[in-house]
Structure 1
Amino acid sequence: MSISTRTRSKLRTSSKPQKKLEEEFPEVSEIFNVKEESQEEFLKWLNKNKNRKKSIYIRSESLTIKGLIKLQEKDSWLSSDQINMYLTHLNTKFEHIHSFTSYFYMRLAMGGYSSVANWTKKTEIYKKETIFVPINITDDHWILVAIFIEEPRRIVIIDSFGSVTDECATEIEENLITWLNKEYHKVSNENNEVGNPINATLDLMFDKEEAPQVDGYSCGVFICMFARLIAENIEMDKIKNIVKFEAVEKFRQVMCIELWNYAE
Structure 2
Amino acid sequence: MPVVGSQKRPRPSAYPPRKQPRMTKLNGDGENASPGGSTIRERWSDHGKTFLSLVVDTAAAVRDSFLPHPQPSAHYPSTSQADRPPTHPHRPPLRRPLRRPLGPPPSTPPTSISPSEQNETTPKALVSSLQPSPRRPSTVPWPTTANTKTYYPQVDMALKKSFRKEQKQPRRKRHIFENQHKAHLEATRAGDREALLKTLYILQQKDGYSSDFASFKGFMKKKTLISRILRTQRERALKFVSAKPTALSLTNQQHDDTEFLRRAVQKAQATLEEFVLCFIPRTCSSCSSRPKPRTPLTPSIADLQFRYRTKDGQLERRIAVPSLPSSLPPEDDAQVNALFRKSGILSKYAKEQVTDQDVVRLKPGKWLNDEIINFYGALILGRSDDNKENTTPSKDILDVHYFSTFFWSKLLNDGYEKGRLAKWTKKMDIFSKDVILIPVNHANVHWTAAAINFKQKRIESYDSMLDDRPNVFKVLREYVNQEHLNKKKKPFDFTGWVDYTSANTPCQENGYDCGVFTCQFLESLSRGVPRFNFTQKDIPYLRRRMLWEIGNARLRTEQ
Q: Which amino acid aligns with 2:411?
A: L
Matches within 5 A, 1:53-132: 53-71=344-362, 73-95=363-385, 96-114=399-417, 115=419, 116-132=421-437
1:214 and 1:29, CA in 2 relative to 1: closer, same or farther beyond 3 A? closer
Higher strand share: 1
Identity, in percent, stands at 22
1:106 and 1:42, CA in 2 relative to 1: closer, same or farther beyond 3 A? same
Cα shift readout 1:125-177 (whole Å, capped 9, x = no counterpart): 11211111111113211111022112x4111110001234xxxx332222211
Aligned residue number for residue 493 of structure 2: 197
Task: Return the alpha-carbon distance in structure 2 between the equivalents of residues 67 and 204 of structure 1.
Answer: 31
> Is 2:340–2:359's contact at 8 Å kept on the other side of the alignment?
no
> Is 1:134–1:142's contact at 8 Å kept on the other side of the alignment?
yes
Cα deviation, residue 261, structure 1: 0.5
Task: Return the alpha-carbon distance in structure 2 between the equivalents of residues 67 and 180 of structure 1.
Answer: 33
When the two structures are superposed, what TM-score results if normalisation uses the length of structure 1? 0.76
Q: Which amino acid aligns with 1:135?
A: V
Aligned residue number for residue 332 of structure 2: 38
Task: Return the alpha-carbon distance in structure 1 between the equivalents of residues 332 and 506 of structure 2.
Answer: 32
Q: Which amino acid aligns with 2:474?
A: E
1:211 and 1:6, CA in 2 relative to 1: closer, same or farther beyond 3 A? farther
Task: Return the alpha-carbon distance in structure 1 between the equivalents of residues 518 and 340 of structure 2.
Answer: 26
Question: Secondary structure of 1:246's match?
Answer: helix
1:122 and 1:33, CA in 2 relative to 1: closer, same or farther beyond 3 A? farther
Aligned residue number for residue 182 of structure 1: 482
1:28 and 1:100, CA in 2 relative to 1: closer, same or farther beyond 3 A? farther
1:70 and 1:127, CA in 2 relative to 1: closer, same or farther beyond 3 A? same
Aligned residue number for residue 91 of structure 2: none
Aligned residue number for residue 232 of structure 1: 527
1:170 aligns with one of 456, 459, 470: 470
2:482 is the alignment partner of 1:154: no
Cα deviation, residue 6, structure 1: 4.5
Unaligned runs of 5+ in 1: 11-23
Question: Secondary structure of 1:142's match?
Answer: strand
> Is 2:324–2:538's contact at 8 Å kept on the other side of the alignment?
no
Question: Secondary structure of 2:487's match?
Answer: helix
1:210 and 1:59, CA in 2 relative to 1: closer, same or farther beyond 3 A? closer
Aligned residue number for residue 3 of structure 1: 222
Task: Return the alpha-carbon distance in structure 1 between the equivalents of residues 335 and 506 of structure 2.
Answer: 36
Cα deviation, residue 203, structure 1: 1.9
Structure possessing the higher relative contact order (Cα contacts under 8 Å, 6 or more residues apart): 1
1:210 and 1:33, CA in 2 relative to 1: closer, same or farther beyond 3 A? closer
> Is 1:98–1:128's contact at 8 Å kept on the other side of the alignment?
yes
1:46 and 1:77, CA in 2 relative to 1: closer, same or farther beyond 3 A? closer
Aligned residue number for residue 268 of structure 2: none
> Is 1:98–1:132's contact at 8 Å kept on the other side of the alignment?
yes
1:251 and 1:230, CA in 2 relative to 1: closer, same or farther beyond 3 A? same
Q: Which amino acid aligns with 1:3?
A: K
1:122 and 1:38, CA in 2 relative to 1: closer, same or farther beyond 3 A? farther
Q: CA RMSD in A?
A: 3.0
Cα shift readout 1:51-89 (whole Å, capped 9, x = no counterpart): x23352222222112312431x11111111111111111
Task: Return the alpha-carbon distance in structure 2 between the equivalents of residues 120 and 210 of structure 1.
Answer: 30
Q: Which amino acid aligns with 2:520?
A: M
Aligned residue number for residue 207 of structure 2: none
Question: Secondary structure of 1:3's match?
Answer: helix
Cα deviation, residue 46, structure 1: 5.6
Task: Return the alpha-carbon distance in structure 1 between the equivalents of residues 466 and 520 of structure 2.
Answer: 16
> Is 1:69–1:256's contact at 8 Å kept on the other side of the alignment?
no
> Is 1:78–1:221's contact at 8 Å kept on the other side of the alignment?
yes
> Is 1:56–1:65's contact at 8 Å kept on the other side of the alignment?
no
Task: Return the alpha-carbon distance in structure 1 between the equivalents of residues 402 and 344 of structure 2.
Answer: 27
Aligned residue number for residue 262 of structure 1: 553
Question: Secondary structure of 2:524's match?
Answer: helix
> Is 1:76–1:217's contact at 8 Å kept on the other side of the alignment?
yes
Aligned residue number for residue 517 of structure 2: 222
1:197 and 1:233, CA in 2 relative to 1: closer, same or farther beyond 3 A? closer
1:133 and 1:26, CA in 2 relative to 1: closer, same or farther beyond 3 A? closer
Task: Return the alpha-carbon distance in structure 1 between the equivalents of residues 331 and 438 of structure 2.
Answer: 34
Unaligned runs of 5+ in 2: 1-217, 227-256, 265-318, 386-398, 555-559
Matches within 5 A, 1:7-18: 7=226
> Is 1:109–1:175's contact at 8 Å kept on the other side of the alignment?
yes
Cα shift readout 1:202-259 (whole Å, capped 9, x = no counterpart): 12345xx785110000000001011111212211xx21xx233522222111211011
Q: List structure 1 runs of 4+ shifted beyond 4 angstroms.
A: 6-10, 44-47
Question: Secondary structure of 1:223's match?
Answer: helix
Task: Return the alpha-carbon distance in structure 1 between the equivalents of residues 436 and 224 of structure 2.
Answer: 31
Task: Return the alpha-carbon distance in structure 1 between the equivalents of residues 361 and 222 of structure 2.
Answer: 20
